[in-house]
Structure 1
């Protein structure tokens, strides 16, 4: 059974911890600003001890796992968000206290990039809904027309409707403006449907960053095939986004997810917009089609779900409806 955490309201407590990368000195001004932004929005914010940015992770794996477990099990904390992603958060997946988490009431966990490594197993193993959305550092950015911020999604059961924003953006560097709240506008983009003339589909959402998903697929922490079987009546909408791997690596990774059964119960695939490099003989789009084209599933390319902002937050476990038909490009999510 899927379990949706209680709606997050102003006055509720949000925990900040770094399951993966910590915060270096030159980055602290942005994180302090984002914490202050949440407080000004009416939330109580507690910052954990696992925040050290001097190494590739924010301290020993056992310490990071213990702090994340404690925050997720603390009934006074209604949501946990990391400063950002990182590289090797996979080292805490098997160190979380899964028994304690299973006995606790669900708490919202929000993030993307390396945090996908934790979002997916918490949804597939525990049945908790999790949010693939902005990390803390991105939360103060204004939400473009058509999209919702992750705080909007966790504030109620929906339906939460979002549509193609048309915006392609970028971050402001910390040295440029550590207190930025408006995305750097760099162009226009549009969802692009492949494999059908029009799309009207429903299914349970699940997915994340390709570079992290490939390492947990086929393990007890990334058993999306079993998750799909449990929800075969609803079907799945699998979403994936690429951070930086070249197209050949992405192609191999997607074949691996396919062989691990990630798409066995899929009704459609959403692919995030990316700036990751092509291979000299293979584009990023061709990589997706090489691996997934044989499945004859509709694929929606260039959705705002990854490492090219702005961000369209998705809730793992939510029942979603996706429409791409003529001028309509929309996704609606319900917590049911």
Structure 2
């Protein structure tokens, strides 16, 4: 596993691109986020389509061309995706994985940007950071893990501990998350292995396509074992169950030591099976921990795709300790 150079010197440059949605509909919020990133000592440059008021930000080929301009720029030390959305999947045929592998940088994003981070880690053997988009740091988005994500990018490796309070499912007040519910992880594990995952819907979309590189990742790190992490955005539990079975049939979980599942943002519309039951029924022999601080609800951790980690969870709480080693 390759770890890009950490940004531990002031005035490193972060390139921001819009591989999914543009941010034109929330410019005030986005500007707050960029100022937050700059306040940690970074320069920030943006590609042309970032501030477009459209989803997607522009056509797929142009989005990848703008990404490549950052990949090729030796002055850009990390690439941070501006926002989530629904259409990044259509950029996959245009990605130049050889170019990305030859120019290793940190890639960061959350939700739809899984369609870039996940295949980069699997195909290019390059660690990526899931959990925050460049536009995640407005006054409502900053949480107890925000600074820790920035510190990791600078090379400081902190142990992440479960939160004490979190935002209830689908509950907002004028856009501000209200941390009104006691955090209690469901399930237990004590595992060490390679982290791999992202937005569940995106991973399910890529499964079985020419951009599915999970088998080679699994074989490369079978001796380490895999700890999957899943951020389920809105998929109902019946669909999750079928998707898990598909992934199981494809061999995704043959070296799996544990599975970490975040809180689902939207209420489950199925009463036939719950999320916990879906995982237990599909994968009865694997430790699964649900309702973790991963994903779309607040607060949420950053998760390092490809990193070795020690994960512990019991009695409703837990921790992730990254071991940055090849």
Q: TM-score with structure 2 length normalisation?
A: 0.91
| Structure 2 counterpart of 1:135, from 133, 140, 149 | 133
Deviation at 1:326, TM superposition (A): 4.9
1:150-176 Cα distance to aligned partner (Å, 9 max, x none): 212222163x31111122127997x94
Q: Which structure 2 residues correspond to residues 301-320 of structure 1 after superposition, within 5 A? A: 301-320=290-309
Any unmatched runs of 5+ in structure 2? none
Deviation at 1:280, TM superposition (A): 2.5
Correspondence 1:332 to 2:326:
no
Instruction: Give the direction of change, closer, same or farther, for the CA distance of 1:172–1:299 in structure 2 (3 Å limit).
Output: closer
Aligned residues of 2:263 and 2:294 also touching (Cα < 8 A): yes
Aligned residues of 1:202 and 1:320 also touching (Cα < 8 A): yes
Instruction: Give the direction of change, closer, same or farther, for the CA distance of 1:13–1:234 in structure 2 (3 Å limit).
Output: same
Correspondence 1:259 to 2:249:
yes
Q: For residue 96 of structure 1, what is the aligned residue in structure 2?
A: 95
Correspondence 1:230 to 2:228:
no
Aligned residues of 1:147 and 1:164 also touching (Cα < 8 A): no
Q: For residue 270 of structure 2, what is the aligned residue in structure 1?
A: 279
Any unmatched runs of 5+ in structure 1? none
**Structure 1 vs Structure 2 CA RMSD:** 2.3
Q: For residue 188 of structure 1, what is the aligned residue in structure 2?
A: 182
Deviation at 1:148, TM superposition (A): 5.9
Q: Which structure 2 residues correspond to residues 140-289 of structure 1 after superposition, within 5 A? A: 140=138, 141-144=141-144, 149-156=148-155, 158=157, 160-169=158-167, 176=174, 183-193=177-187, 199-276=189-266, 277-289=268-280
Instruction: Give the direction of change, closer, same or farther, for the CA distance of 1:45–1:153 in structure 2 (3 Å limit).
Output: same
Aligned residues: 320
Q: For residue 107 of structure 2, what is the aligned residue in structure 1?
A: 109
Aligned residues of 1:148 and 1:313 also touching (Cα < 8 A): no
Within 2, Cα distance between the matches of 1:304 and 1:330? 10
Q: For residue 311 of structure 2, what is the aligned residue in structure 1?
A: 322
Deviation at 1:147, TM superposition (A): 7.9
Q: For residue 71 of structure 2, what is the aligned residue in structure 1?
A: 72
Q: TM-score with structure 1 length normalisation?
A: 0.88
Correspondence 1:47 to 2:41:
no
Instruction: Give the direction of change, closer, same or farther, for the CA distance of 1:259–1:157 in structure 2 (3 Å limit).
Output: farther
Instruction: Give the direction of change, closer, same or farther, for the CA distance of 1:42–1:335 in structure 2 (3 Å limit).
Output: same
1:13-72 Cα distance to aligned partner (Å, 9 max, x none): 011110011123x41111112112222222101011122544330101001011112212
1:62-111 Cα distance to aligned partner (Å, 9 max, x none): 0101111221232211111122111010111120122222222x111111
Instruction: Give the direction of change, closer, same or farther, for the CA distance of 1:45–1:52 in structure 2 (3 Å limit).
Output: closer
Aligned residues of 2:279 and 2:288 also touching (Cα < 8 A): no
Q: For residue 84 of structure 2, what is the aligned residue in structure 1?
A: 85
